[in-house]
Amino acid sequence: MRKPVTIVTGAGGEIGHELIARLASSGSVLVTLDVMPLDPRLARRVSRQFVGSVTDTSLLERVLAEFEVDRVFHLAARLSTRSEFTPATAHHVNVEGTLNLLEFAQRQGESHGRPVLFVYPSSVAAYGLADPATKARAGCVREDEYTHPVTLYGCNKLSCEQLGRYYTRHYKQLSADVTRRVDFRAVRFPGLVSAETVPSGGTSDYASEMIHAAARGESYVCFVRPDTTVPFMTMPDGVEALLKLASVPRACLTRTEYNLRAFSASAAEIRAVVLRAFPEATITYAVDEKRQAIVDSWPADVDDSAARTDWGFEPMYDFQSAFRDYLIPAVRRRYGRD
Ligand code: AKB
């Protein structure tokens, strides 16, 4: 019998780096798919890496033929800023790629007769608040409110959430002999901040860029206003949440997509905490109005009570401890500043 494996798409990206380390150390057999070859340190931890795109259905056929996949962590995506430059390509990767993976999961499940767990990182970008007054009034938003994204990436995330729910609950509803084999679960991530990797192509990137630049001794020009406020969480908390959501019985879940957050902070608050740790750093502002408008359309905070109640989501780090206990010491080590 073939050994059940977990496939991770977009494995070389920010979330992939930490997720693979966690999955490998818990003994999971891993197969990865990424458009770029994996960093050798990451490659050592996986059984097999496929280099290619989630849009390549013949590559997915090869994986299907060779492996018995039990779990899919579908991380591959183009982020919000990058997607605005090439919307049609972004849609192709973000939505058609996800549809390919859902179909792949259904066919895997049909072939081995068990549901395939499909874990999907959606985003705070799924929200769209019309203007600053609406953002101020909205406060902490729940999953079903204000879902009118202003970015292509946000539209893509929302449609993939719906596709996942369709495959889980209604796939081929008019066919008599179809067993649904996809168990789709999504989190809406806030801005994620990692001490190990620097994001690229996102709009919440300023938080990570600020701290990494300061630790490298480089000056940084922040592209949003000081008062810009959105929710964030650390990468270790984000990865822990994915693993926790993947591990709970389906019966515990009352929905297919869950808000997550650990703290809500303004760019000025983040700048202040970074400057306390690296007093010689220079962090200035030059607002990019277009990117600013994107972050302004995201809520200042989200209501994560469904995740807390249904599957015990509980981030380890709040704003103070995220910087004091994780980000500052880890970036110091990373850039030899300790
Ligand atoms: C982005 O900025 O595009 C991402 C996200 C919030 O999903 N970090």
- What's the 238 CA to ligand 1 centre distance in angstroms? 13
Whether the CB of 151 sits within 6 Å of ligand 1:
no
Cβ count near 305 (within 10 Å) = 13
Whether the CB of 191 sits within 6 Å of ligand 1:
yes
DSSP string, 244-311: HHHHS-GGG-S-SEEE--SEEEEHHHHHHHHHHHSTT--EEE---HHHHHHHHTS-SEE--HHHHHHH
**Ligand 1 atom, smallest distance to 83 CA:** 3
Rounded to an integer, the average pLDDT of 102-124 is 97
Rounded to an integer, the average pLDDT of 197-205 is 96
The rounded distance, in Å, linking the Cα atoms of 56 and 71 is 19
Whether the CB of 299 sits within 6 Å of ligand 1:
no
In the three-class reduction of DSSP (H, G, I as helix; E, B as strand; rest coil), residue 194 is classed as: coil
Q: Are 303 and 140 in contact (CB under 8 A)?
A: yes
Whether the CB of 138 sits within 6 Å of ligand 1:
no
Give CATH for domain 77-334.
3.40.50.720
Q: What is the DSSP letter of 39?
A: P
The rounded distance, in Å, linking the Cα atoms of 106 and 175 is 15
State the pLDDT at residue 338. Answer: 81
State the pLDDT at residue 1. Answer: 58
The widest CA-to-CA distance across the chain, in whole angstroms, is 68
Q: Give me 325's structure tokens.
A: 């206990």
Pocket-testing residue among 204, 242, 302, ligand 1, by greatest number of atoms within 8 A of Cβ: 204
Residue 221 has, within 13 A of its CA and on its CB side, a CA count of: 3
With b for 16 or more beta-carbon neighbours within 10 A and e for fewer, the 187-219 pattern comes to bbbbbbbbbebebebbbbbbbbbbbbbbbbeee
Tens digit of each residue's pLDDT (9 = 90 or more) over 135-178? 999 999 999 999 999 999 999 999 999 999 999 999 999 999 99
Rounded to an integer, the average pLDDT of 76-95 is 98
Cβ count near 337 (within 10 Å) = 15
The rounded distance, in Å, linking the Cα atoms of 308 and 313 is 4
Among residues 91, 100, 86, which one has the least CA distance to residue 156?
Answer: 91
pLDDT at residue 236 tops 70: yes
Rg, Å, the chain Cα set: 20
Tens digit of each residue's pLDDT (9 = 90 or more) over 271-305? 999 999 999 999 999 999 999 999 999 999 999 99
- What's the 82 CA to ligand 1 centre distance in angstroms? 10
Percent of the chain with pLDDT over 70: 100
Q: Are 230 and 298 in contact (CB under 8 A)?
A: yes
Using a cut of 0.95, tell me whether the model's pTM lies above it: yes
Sorted by where each begins, the domain ranges of the chain are 77-334
Whether the CB of 109 sits within 6 Å of ligand 1:
no
State the pLDDT at residue 301. Answer: 98
- What's the 52 CA to ligand 1 centre distance in angstroms? 23
pLDDT at residue 222 tops 90: yes
Q: What is the DSSP letter of 108?
A: H
In the three-class reduction of DSSP (H, G, I as helix; E, B as strand; rest coil), residue 34 is classed as: strand
**Ligand 1 atom, smallest distance to 298 CA:** 6
Instruction: Provide the Cα torsion 74, 75, 76, 82; round to 10°.
Output: 140
Q: Are 161 and 186 in contact (CB under 8 A)?
A: yes
Instruction: Give the residue, by CA position, lying nearest to ligand 1 atom 4.
Output: 202
